[in-house]
Structure 1
């Protein structure tokens, strides 16, 4: 299995999900990721009891596993001089320094770029924040719900005016996971640049900036039209093969064919109604859009009179774009997902099996091998003795002082 990041070491000084998930991506690609955790409580995410409506107190901490697969853990007190000295020794043998701390916290913890780079001039310094490093909110904390979803315009863009409540983002760590891929791509690019030029870059990614990027086309269209983007009611679309329909067994399917006339003609043949192709109401783009109502009734009749499986058979050779809407439990067993290895079998540190969504980038057509999150300080002794060359007397003394876990 190809591991393009093999030989790269990442020093991960992060909590929660957004930035840690970035190094999890790189760990899946072969990087050695050393996760620095608080010497007593560990990553703040370990103490998170719930995420919205999801209980995280069971035997599998799904969010922690998602964002920390494949890493090694060291509990280290960064508020002590000895702890910072150990961190600097790790910096010296690492390729990337990664943190999610806001600029003012980096300064307080002595982990700013200015503090880190003197210990390794070739290190890539990467940071992820909620709002970006500059401006009046540069030092504020935030989560993907606040910075990626709500502030970026995404929440308002999905808020139907007749709904009293603004919609929440679709799932836990939704914006975090998208932002993490952005950071991982930035780090990979910075390493490539270093390889070509010898220059070690710094990079910053924010949840706000990533959310804006995700909404980029809508923001641009809003500026051109001087109208805020709002949800589109597909039930009134002026073309029949664009919208949501409900099957006889209660599934919702979405049809999105953006070139209406050729797909309409093919659709008519597939459903056994070729005479509709010559129906004067539907013979041109203009007449089809003018008579979208009657055409939608035909589509609705086809869908509502059949089960999802019957529609799968009916549309097996239809080249138009359609799909059933699945929930987050159904998608695990979806044949297309299974065929591509998008969901993998994994085990916790205690051997408890669970399903883990794979990083979507596949090299040479192979999904990355599934990893697991480390236990708190699981690799602490190993990192101190093998990577830093400490003897056991030194390690024990540091443990007694509380510098390491």
Structure 2
């Protein structure tokens, strides 16, 4: 995307994450931040009970993830001086990207018609909680509300008898998926503009991303014309397959098995586990019998896996052809050899010159790992961007005196 300029008037993670992906792909992404306060996410010091930044460092993962590779300019959009700067940025950009609510967009004069009055060819992108039309178009939302709760994921993972609702497994969980979704829409719109000459208006909502993530269940409910029955999953395995599901090892770690052809993989598993006699067991000696007696087989599998530690099972299962995975925590994901072999954990140098690492976006071109640069400090590139627009030093100073720019 070298040569493509993205103008981002957005904050938090949902929409800025799209800008980060586009920056990963080579676009010039200019992040417009409030001239005094900056992106509101810069003020989040704790998230999910954890410190959001390292002590004594400017490296702030909650900002680095969705903002790496960008340049930051501080603009007081409500001032006349900043308006001139904004319009020049619009005039020189291919994409205008925002997650401001309609009332704020109208107040600041950044609705689609305002932006297209300056640049008729610009692709205009709105990220929202609940969509740009309908009863909740003016309502704000976060991924915990629009994506996780209302989009069906929370209900899908919360057991019927639970006294608490299951929370998202990571901060900005739905936001990150939504950002990737927006980035793909922008790529398609750039292609469409090249082919047709017409710019697109793109809408992506967290609710829509949430419904897409749970589409299998939603589609079944639509087919059934009502809520799906609550299915009580067996303790081990599935109802017809002992080699599907989570099993606990002797040292209280978990393995996820997903061998969808039980008859094919049962002999291999029994051999790996040192229980070859189970292959000829009359309860399990055919695919039909194994499926019919899945509950008994699953109890045996649970006992077998509980008899050895996690690391031993990694080696044993790794010798077979069946599908399975270790249940990993965040640190283990960051060290995953498959991710590292493919460059999905990328190096980045922070503002103090220290080497850091971030998760790369999951799309890779030509087997070439992405090269990341750090997220900008607040309004770090204001002077550089203004000079690129042709402003003299005297004009730049005057804008600062007026409070139009940082």
The bucket for the TM-score relative to the shorter chain is over 0.9
Preserved contact between residue 235 and residue 243 of structure 1 (Cα < 8 Å): no
Q: Which moved more, 1:368-377 or 1:31-40?
A: 368-377
Q: Retained in 2: the 8 A contact 1:218–1:229?
A: no
Q: CA deviation at 1:232?
A: 6.0
The whole-number CA distance in structure 2 between the counterparts of 1:106 and 1:370 is 31
Match of 2:306 in 1: 304
Residue number in structure 1 paired with 2:290: 288
TM-superposed CA distance for 1:231, in Å, is: 7.3
Report if aligned partners of 1:144, 1:173 keep a CA contact under 8 Å in 2: yes
Which consecutive residues of structure 2, in runs of 5 or more, have no partner in the other structure? none
Matches within 5 A, 1:297-376: 297-376=299-378
Which ranges of 4 or more aligned residues in structure 1 deviate by more than 6 Å?
A: none
* 1:151-202, Cα deviation, whole Å (9 max, x unpaired): 1111011111222011111111000000000000000000000111111111
Q: Is the 8 A contact 1:222 1:229 kept in 2?
A: no
Distance (Å, rounded) in 2 between the aligned partners of 1:349 and 1:27? 18
Q: Distance in 2 between matches of 1:57 and 1:372?
A: 14
Instruction: Tell me how far apart the structure 1 counterparts of residues 13 and 222 of structure 2 sit (CA, whole Å).
Output: 32
**Deviations for 1:261-317, whole angstroms, at most 9, x for unmatched residues?**
111132223334444333221123331122223312332233122222221222223
Q: Does 1:117 align with 2:116?
A: yes
Secondary structure class of the residue paired with 1:125: strand
Equivalence for 1:173: 172
Q: Greater shift after overlay, 286-295 or 357-366?
A: 286-295
CA deviation after TM superposition for structure 1 residue 332, in Å? 1.4
Unaligned residue ranges in structure 1 (runs of 5+): none
- Which residue is 2:211 aligned to? 212
Aligned 8 A contact 1:102 1:139 in 2: yes
Q: Does 1:160 align with 2:162?
A: no
Q: Which of 1, 7, 29 lines up with 1:11 in the alignment?
A: 7
Residue 39 in structure 1 maps to residue 35 in structure 2: yes
Where does residue 96 of structure 2 map in the other structure?
97
- Give the aligned partner of residue 235 of structure 2: 235
SS in structure 2 opposite 1:128? strand
Asked if 1:265 corresponds to 2:264, the answer is no
**Distance in 2 of aligned mates of 1:232 and 1:382:** 60
Q: Residue deviations 1:21-48, cap 9 Å, x none?
A: 1010000000000000001111111112
- Once residues 108 and 355 of structure 1 are traced to their aligned partners in structure 2, the CA distance between those partners, rounded to angstroms, is 39
Task: Confirm or deny: 8 A CA contact 1:72 1:379 kept in the other structure.
Answer: yes
Q: 2:383 and 2:70 mapped to 1: Cα distance?
A: 15
| Counterpart secondary structure, 1:361 | coil
CA deviation map 1:211-256 (0-9, x unaligned): 0010111111123333337576352522210111111222111111
Question: For the aligned residues, what is the CA RMSD?
Answer: 1.6
**How many pairs were matched up?**
400
CA distance in 1, matches of 2:250, 2:276: 23
After superposition, the Cα gap between the structure-2 partners of 1:52 and 1:311, relative to the gap in structure 1 and judged at 3 Å, is closer
The 1:217–1:109 alpha-carbon spacing in structure 2 relative to 1, beyond 3 Å, is: same
Pair 37,229 (structure 1): closer, same or farther in 2 beyond 3 Å: farther
Distance in 1 separating the partners of 2:34 and 2:374: 20
* Matches of 1:31 and 1:353, distance apart in 2: 23
8 Å contact kept, 2:53–2:61: no
The separation in 1 between residues aligned to 2:231 and 2:332, in whole angstroms, is: 26
Say whether residues 1:145 and 2:144 are aligned partners.
yes
- Output the TM-score relative to the length of structure 1: 0.95
Does structure 1 residue 51 correspond to structure 2 residue 47?
Answer: yes
Task: Please give the TM-score of this superposition, normalised by the length of structure 2.
Answer: 0.94
Query: CA 1:203/1:232 → structure 2, altered by over 3 Å: closer, same or farther?
Result: farther
- 2:347–2:371: 8 Å Cα contact kept in structure 1? no
How far, CA to CA, are the matches of 2:212 and 2:229 in structure 1? 15
State whether residues 80 and 404 of structure 2, in contact with CA within 8 Å, keep that contact through their aligned partners in structure 1.
no
Counterpart for residue 201 of structure 2:
202
- Give yes or no for contact 1:11–1:91 (8 Å, CA) kept in 2: yes
Give SS of 1:282's match: coil
